[in-house]
């Protein structure tokens, strides 16, 4: 692959993330369901369905990408967004919404690991894999900026109503399908060998062997997932805690946007930060998330917002570094699968820590 083609490829992947962030119904799905009359218990169950689906299919989706190709998997991911949006428009009860939520989770699964694998192997095929650092930083920064902007537009989604809001998401999905179709796949040796069943077996066995035999990779995956889960839970509970300590609810959206910008800055700083020692970066990130955790108990919403910003900064700082380091260690044939293991570990830790944090912050 030529350098120019590889760079265009990564720019298209960044474009998919940017456009996806404009899915306003996805950013306001809880509020939209509440406006339709669904109870908090029902919404909580739907959230559980999303996470259970996500955790169940996270690793299989990575295997699919490695076996059938990353481009096809990215296209399938974007098609799932359209299907999920249409199902939400047509939904009439809890059951049909649950199906739409599960399909939406699959869209995330199919993109997770696939995006990173396609970007890294495209740059590697062009001999410029050293540029992946810049891609990883920009990818995370763009995702945070546009998803934060989507949160600010949650009010627009409520004004439009759930049908029109989900139609906007379907249009967003269609635009990303067009971008995904223009991608060029990077064929690995695996995709040209044996039958599909043999390829599946090879990916699973070799991925398991890699995880089992590489202690450093295991530690990076677990530590990165732990930092990420703690930060996400802190930001999640801050949504409820900030109004409780006296902040006007009208300022909640801007406050969440400010904290989201901490994540964007953390992602971008990795590109210019000269420190390459992962252990030192890990210590810095752990301190940042600890300060964010402590800020929740101050009862001062200014301090809590600053803490949320610092925690989000630390989370994305270590996440981008972990992504870069893991990609240098992982074989191309199993890249999407093993990056999905990273996301799966995060989901498991989230499930374990969620009730614990619920008690701590209650």
The DSSP code sequence of 257-280 is HHHHHHHHHHHHHHHH-----HHH
Indicate the range of 190-194, 305-309, 334-338 predicted with least confidence. Answer: 190-194
Q: How many domains does the chain have?
A: 1
Q: For 25-56, b where at least 16 C-beta lie within 10 A, e where not — what string?
A: bbbbbebbbeeeebeeeebeebeebbeebbbb
What's residue 140's pLDDT? 84
Mean pLDDT computed over every residue of the chain:
87
Q: What is the domain range of residue 294?
A: 3-360
Whether the per-residue pLDDT at 189 is higher than 70: the answer is no
- Write the burial class of residue 212 (CB in 10 Å: 0-12 exposed, 13-18 middle, 19+ buried): exposed
Whether the per-residue pLDDT at 198 is higher than 60: the answer is yes
pLDDT-derived band at 133, boundaries 50, 70, 90: confident
CA of residue 308 relative to chain centroid, distance: 18
Indicate the range of 9-18, 120-129, 212-221, 329-338 predicted with least confidence. Answer: 329-338
| Mean local confidence (pLDDT), 117-124 | 90
Distance in angstroms (rounded) separating the CA atoms of residues 184 and 307: 42
Structure confidence by residue, pLDDT tens digits, 336-361 = 788 788 888 888 888 888 788 878 87
pLDDT-derived band at 191, boundaries 50, 70, 90: low
Distance in angstroms (rounded) separating the CA atoms of residues 308 and 293: 8
More confident site: 274 or 175: 175
Could you tell me the CATH number of the domain that includes residue 263? 1.20.1250.20
3-state secondary structure of 189: coil
3-state secondary structure of 254: helix
């Amino acid at each position: 692959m030529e350098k120019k083609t590889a760079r265009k490829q990564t720019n298209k992947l960044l474009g998919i993330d940017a456009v996806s962030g404009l899915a306003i119904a996805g950013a306001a799905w809880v509020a939209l369901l509440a406006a339709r009359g669904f109870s908090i218990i029902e919404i909580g169950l739907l959230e559980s369905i999303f996470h259970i689906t996500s955790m169940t299919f996270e690793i299989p989706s990575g295997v699919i990408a490695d076996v059938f190709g990353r481009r096809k998997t990215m296209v399938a991911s974007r098609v799932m967004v359209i299907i999920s949006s249409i199902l939400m428009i047509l939904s009439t009860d809890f059951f049909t919404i649950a199906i739409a939520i599960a399909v939406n989770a699959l869209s995330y699964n199919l993109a997770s690991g696939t995006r990173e694998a396609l970007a890294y192997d495209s740059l590697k095929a062009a001999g410029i894999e050293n540029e992946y650092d810049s891609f990883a930083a920009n990818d995370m920064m763009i995702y945070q900026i546009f998803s934060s902007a989507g949160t600010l537009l949650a009010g627009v989604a409520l004004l439009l109503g759930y049908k029109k809001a989900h139609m906007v998401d379907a249009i967003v999905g269609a635009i990303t399908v067009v971008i995904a179709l223009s991608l060029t796949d990077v064929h690995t040796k695996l995709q040209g060998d044996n039958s599909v069943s043999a390829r599946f077996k090879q990916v699973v066995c070799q991925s398991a062997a890699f995880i089992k035999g590489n202690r450093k990779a295991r530690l990076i995956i677990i530590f990165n997932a732990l930092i990420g889960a703690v930060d996400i839970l802190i930001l999640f509970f801050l949504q409820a805690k900030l109004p409780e300590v006296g902040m006007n609810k009208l300022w909640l959206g801007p406050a969440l946007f400010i904290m989201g910008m901490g994540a964007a800055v953390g992602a971008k700083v990795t590109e210019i930060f000269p420190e390459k020692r992962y252990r030192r970066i890990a210590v810095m990130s752990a301190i940042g998330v600890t300060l964010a955790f402590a800020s929740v108990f101050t009862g001062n919403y200014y301090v809590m917002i600053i803490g949320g910003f610092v925690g989000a900064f630390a989370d994305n700082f270590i996440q981008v570094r972990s992504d870069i380091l893991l990609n240098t260690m992982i074989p191309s044939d199993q890249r999407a699968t093993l990056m999905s293991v990273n996301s799966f570990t995060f989901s498991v830790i989230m499930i374990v820590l969620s009730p614990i944090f619920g008690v701590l912050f209650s």
